[in-house]
Amino acid sequence: MEIRFDDQVVMITGAGAGLGRCHALEFARRGAAVVVNDLGPEPDGSGGPSEAAQSVVAEIEAAGGQAMAHGASVTHEGGVAAMVDEVMKRWGRIDVLVNNAGILGDKAFHNMTLDGFQKVLDVHLMGTVMATHAVWPIMREQSYGRVIVTTSSSGLYGNFGQSNYGAGKMGVLGLISTLKLEGEKYNIRCTALAPTAWTQMTSDIFPAEAEDMFKPEKVSPAVIYLAGGDAPTGTILCAGAGGFARAALLETPGVYLGPDASAEDIAANWEAIASMEGAVEHFAGLEQPQKMTKLFQSG
């Protein structure tokens, strides 16, 4: 059955180009009214849609869809609040939030300034927090919501020169790990997308010949799935070049070494402690102390 978004409102940050633009066009094609957020010309990022955002809106409207542009910076609390207020006045609801806005500031850690680190962290982590915090009460009130954050293989596994970017991209996973629990009874599902795509932001990383293989529109089906009514929650979905995979944090079964265990005991038993045989994925943080309690009881 086709996944549709008729009578739903989808807000996408950083949607003037690249992945965000492709997401916006696909949501609109499937019936959604789309909020195309892209940083406008105001120095403080408080409003004024960019030409890129207006262009995406024009594409959607030309195809018979509904859309509005807004230029708030995701790091500007007042601007985000104004954007949400404008959406609610026009359509009265927000069903899906796709946190897509991002920047890069690559440098080896020893060459990176703390200001440079903070700037990237503010956009990826706090920008996601601000947008999500602004729509969360609305989704609770309407007992429905889908929140998608954009993570990265740099956050999951690391990438040279991207300590700031990786920290932000791992941080958003910590955010949804808790929000999936807090939103559960309100039918708010929180998931993460880990995209691999050739965009303006990644064009210096990918070779030119990879552009056709990693077109951003090939990632959008993953976002559509995560935003659907039957979407999972707490899931990390990787997408790129037509391939899809699920990433997860796993914990080994562990070994009970006794209440007086020393660092040397850990070293002597490291192979058993680190063995991934029988590793499991926890859904909530309390499952870890519960497992340690079982290890204690079995010892």
Active site residues: 165
SS (H, E, C) the chain: CCCCCCCCEEEECCCCCHHHHHHHHHHHHCCCEEEEECCCCCCCCCCCCCHHHHHHHHHHHHCCCEEEEECCCCCCHHHHHHHHHHHHHHHCCCCEEEECCCCCCCCCHHHCCHHHHHHHHHHHHHHHHHHHHHHHHHHHHHCCEEEEEECCHHHHCCCCCCHHHHHHHHHHHHHHHHHHHHCHHHCEEEEEEEECCCCCCCCCCCCHHHCCCCCHHHCHHHHHHHHCCCCCCCCEEEEECCEEEEECCCECCCCCCCCCCCHHHHHHCHHHHHCCCCCECCCCCCHHHHHHHHHHHHC
